[in-house]
Amino acid sequence: MKYAAELFGTFALVFAGLGTAVLAGGTVHAVGISFAFGLTLVAMIYTIGPISGCHINPAVTLAMVLTRRMKAAEAAGYMVVQVIGAIIGAGLVLAIAKGNGFIPTPDNFGINGYGAHSPGHYNLLAAFLTEAFFTVLLVITVLGATDEKAPAGFAGLAIGLVLAVTNLASIPVTNASINPARSIGPAIYVRGWAIDQLWLFIVAPLAGGALAAAIYLTLRGAGEERGKAKAAGA
C-alpha cells in the first residue's frame, strides 16, 4: 500500500501542478502554478501521509534514508513508483491538452531547462544552485515538520507553503523542478533538449536532499546536546 500511495501522490502532484502550467498557465501565471503545486502537496500529505509518509519526491526519500528514517531497499521502491506516477500524471495532462489541438514541445510542456531553455536565460551554474538550494529548503522543512518533537497536525501546511514559495522563486530560473520525478514525467514525452538537460534536474535536487539531511542531522544533534547539558545542569 505504501508504494501505491506514493505512486498516486506523485501522480496527483504532477497532474495538478503540470496541468495548471500547461492548461491554465497563461491565465494564472507563476503565482497560480506555484500554489497549484503547493496546495496539492498539502492535500496529499493529509491524504496519503498516514500511509506512506507522502514523500512523492526522490529528494525527500533520499533524505529519509540518510537520516535513518527508512531503509535503502524500501527507498528504491519509493523512487521507482514516484517516477511512474509522474509519467502517468504528465501523460494525462498531455491527453487532455491534445483535445484542443495542443502539440507538445519542450517549450510548452512545463519542461525544466537552463541556458537558452531557462525562462530567464539563466546559465547552468545558476540553475544548479537554484535547484539544489531550494530543494534544501523544501527537504529540511519536511524533516523538521515531521520530526517526532514537532507540533502535531501542522506538517502539511508548512511543507506545502514552502513548496509554493520555492516554486515561485525558481520558476523564472528553471521552470521549477525541485523534484526529479516532476522533471522526468513530462520530459519523456517531448524528448529533444528536455532529455539532454534532464540530468541537472535529477542530480541537483538529489544533492539538495543530501545536503538538507546533513544540515538537519547537525542541527538536531546540536539541539540534543544542549538539551542534555541543560538537564545535567538542572
Averaged confidence pLDDT in the chain? 94
Per the confidence metrics, is the pTM higher than 0.75? yes
What three-state secondary structure class fits 45?
A: helix
pLDDT tens-digit map of 130-171: 999 999 999 999 999 999 888 878 899 999 999 999 999 999
pLDDT tens-digit map of 88-119: 999 999 999 999 999 999 889 999 999 999 99
> How high is the pLDDT of residue 232?
54
CA pseudo-torsion sign 194, 105, 107, 39:
negative
DSSP 150: S
pLDDT tens-digit map of 160-203: 999 999 999 999 999 999 999 999 999 999 999 999 999 999 99
> How high is the pLDDT of residue 226?
57
Burial (CB count within 10 angstroms: exposed 0-12, middle 13-18, buried 19+), residue 2: middle
Residues near 62 by beta carbon (within 8 Å), at least 6 away in sequence: 75, 206, 209, 210, 213
Grid-cell match 545536503, residue found = 211
> How high is the pLDDT of residue 221?
76
Query: In sequence order, what DSSP letters do the residues of 151-219 get, joined into one string?
Result: PTT-HHHHHHHHHHHHHHHHHHHHS--SSHHHHHHHHHHH-THHHHTTTHHHHHHHHHHHHHHHHHHHH
pLDDT tens-digit map of 26-80: 999 999 999 999 999 999 999 999 999 999 999 999 999 999 999 999 999 999 9
> Which pairs with CB-CB distance under 8 Å and at least 24 residues apart come from 24-31?
25/110, 30/167, 30/168, 30/171, 30/172, 31/168
- What's the one-letter identity of residue 124? L
pLDDT tens-digit map of 193-226: 999 999 999 999 999 999 999 999 999 875 565 5
